[in-house]
Amino acid sequence: MRSEEREKPSTPLFTQSSILNPSRNYLGLVPLVVRGRPLRSHFCLRVVITGASSGLGLALARHYLEEGAVVAAVARRAELLQALAAEFPGRVFCYALDVRDAAAIRGAADDFISRVGVPDVVIANAGVSVGTLTEYAEDIDAYAQVMDINVLGMVKTFQPFVASMREAAGRPPSPLSSPRGGERERHFTLVGIASVAGFRGLPGAGAYSASKAAAIAYLESLRVELHGSGVKVVTLCPGYIRTPMTDINPYAMPFILEADEAARRVARAIARQKSFAVIPWQMGLVGMLLRLLPRWLYDRLFAHAPHKPRGLL
């Protein structure tokens, strides 16, 4: 869908969760607040996911919701977020906003933290992909949008959570933080969805490759900055996943995963607190080979590779 068809919400849509009913996987303390008063406490994972209206983000949201989590679902298309919320009554907080809007994300973060608490996991997944060629002046805007959403959008997503996650990670575990009343250590994780496309510059996808290479480098900086703070940073590089983003690709996509399966593997890598993972592992080997290829050979092999269509943003 073209970006102009996706209405940019003027104000974020905050849909309040009125009844919290987590079923399984009680991993943290969630004070449920209704009309400003704590109603009761539950133990469940709190997850913030951007790009939760479609593809991998939607599959991740469903995965965590089926595990009993409370999810902040962030994307521009409010109606898709609300459809998800209707499937899991009371456990989805919808934030219809654009990840380029730092103030809107900060507002959503403040709202979620005040209602539910500091999230255990924040997944910066929102992203766009489009073919671009430098020789066309009209593609400059696409370069700017891709970098803005895929790189700065990730920074803006994490920014309002870092201080509160650091602070929560530094606190001793509460005796109430386990269902049996014993002490339980909570893990705080910032997850960036990058891509194998960030390993080398793919022809016809300069904006996307550059944005994912930048995301990988940024996530590494953040990981080192937060080393020892109790907040982990996980960099995930998927290969191909069957989603609206890849539906239009006019070329073969080896080792492609269904979105549900990709979400399961992403969640497993997050649970293992991996600092870096390629999904699936076969694409990890491909990625390793790509990185090792000398430039002269890479150029020859990829000179005639098919390109992603231009002009989609």
Ligand X SMILES: NC(=O)c1ccc[n+]([C@@H]2O[C@H](COP(=O)([O-])OP(=O)(O)OC[C@H]3O[C@@H](n4cnc5c(N)ncnc54)[C@H](OP(=O)(O)O)[C@@H]3O)[C@@H](O)[C@H]2O)c1
Instruction: Work out which of 22, 28, 51, 204 binds ligand X, going by CB under 6 A.
Output: 51
Instruction: Work out which of 29, 191, 241, 269 binds ligand X, going by CB under 6 A.
Output: 241
* Contact residues for 40 (Cβ-Cβ < 8 A; gap 6+): 32
Q: Which stretch binds ligand X (CB under 6 A): 34-42, 53-61, 219-227, 290-298?
A: 53-61
- Minimum Å distance from CB 178 to ligand X? 33
Q: Is 75 in the site for ligand X (CB under 6 A)?
A: yes
Instruction: Work out which of 69, 72, 116, 128 binds ligand X, going by CB under 6 A.
Output: 128
Nearer to ligand X, 219 or 241 (CB): 241
Query: Considering 26, 64, 95, 208, which one is annotated as catalytic?
Result: 208
Nearer to ligand X, 76 or 186 (CB): 76
Nearer to ligand X, 51 or 204 (CB): 51
Q: Are strands 29-34 and 37-43 parallel, antiparallel or unpaired?
A: antiparallel
Nearer to ligand X, 178 or 243 (CB): 243
CB 73 within 8 A of CB 81: yes
Instruction: Work out which of 84, 118, 245, 263 binds ligand X, going by CB under 6 A.
Output: 245
Whether 208 is catalytic: yes
Q: Residues interacting with ligand X, by CB under 6 A?
A: 6, 50-51, 53-57, 75-77, 98-100, 125-129, 149, 153, 193, 195, 238, 240-241, 243-246
